[in-house]
Amino acid sequence: MKKLYLLVLCMISAMLVNAQAPVWNVKVGLGASSWMGDGFGSAKALFNQRIGVGVDIPLTGWVSFQTGLNWTSKGAKYSLVNDTKQTVNQNYFEMPLLAAFHIGTPKNFDVIISGGGYIGCGIVGKTEQKADDVTSSWGTFNDACVGDIKIWDGLRRFDAGIQAGINLDFRHYIVGVEGEFGLARMWEKGPRNLGIFATFGYKF
């Protein structure tokens, strides 16, 4: 996975050297995330957030390449047997890899439609389980045991999937909606991540 990140960084560095006037931005996002997969159709969404730094690298007059580094929170809430409730929080460093199409308007903004993929690495998280009046918790990406009995297999840290969004691009600000559809399973035959965020950014 480290080799993949290094390869992507080298490619982006080469594009930055040859690009004309890359535009940097900072973004924050608020939204919801959940899991999708067999056995998790009734999983409830969690309110989550995203913050990051991005760069828009012009390729032609109306097409650009977008990437950056985001701190993204994900997770879900679902029920187990005997009315046990489990809430899983996951925090990732994510790198989007997007093609963006800039559509001019008669107003003072452009419409940007973007699509592509993302790769991510799970950094930290907390899983909480409530059964009757007893609450227990452990690290989401770590195994959890009670005595010699394993009660939780840590989630896979690697995440990747499809990302798309639509934004209104003003002179100094960006507002829009972005969604993610995970392709990497969190464990063998397990669910995938799903998220949507309303975003606001400032351009430098």
Residues 119-137 have pLDDT tens digits of 999 999 999 999 888 889 9
What pTM was estimated for this model as a whole? 0.87
Residue 53: name the closest of 71, 26, 73, 21 by CA. 26
Q: Residue 157 above 70 pLDDT? A: yes
pLDDT at 82: 79
pLDDT at 200: 98
Predicted confidence band of residue 97 (pLDDT cuts 50, 70, 90): very high
Q: What is the mean pLDDT of the chain?
A: 91
Q: Residue 28 above 80 pLDDT? A: yes
Least confident segment among 82-86, 99-103, 195-199: 82-86
3-state secondary structure the chain: CHHHHHHHHHHHHHHHHHCCCCEEEEEEEEEEEEEECCCCCCCECEEEEEEEEEEEEECCCCEEEEEEEEEEEEEEEEECHHHCEEEEEEEEEEEEEEEEEEEECCCCCEEEEEEEEEEEEEEEEEEEEEECCEEEEEECCCCEEECCEEEECCCCCEEEEEEEEEEEECCCEEEEEEEEEECCCCCCCCCEEEEEEEEEEEEC
Q: Residue 36 above 90 pLDDT? A: yes
pLDDT at 107: 82
Predicted confidence band of residue 146 (pLDDT cuts 50, 70, 90): confident
b (16+ CB within 10 A) / e for 69-83: ebebbbbbbbeeeee
Question: CA end-to-end span of the chain, whole Å?
Answer: 31
pLDDT at 12: 52
Predicted confidence band of residue 189 (pLDDT cuts 50, 70, 90): very high
Greater model confidence, 76 or 108: 76
11-25 pLDDT, tens digit per residue, is 555 555 555 689 999
pLDDT at 99: 98
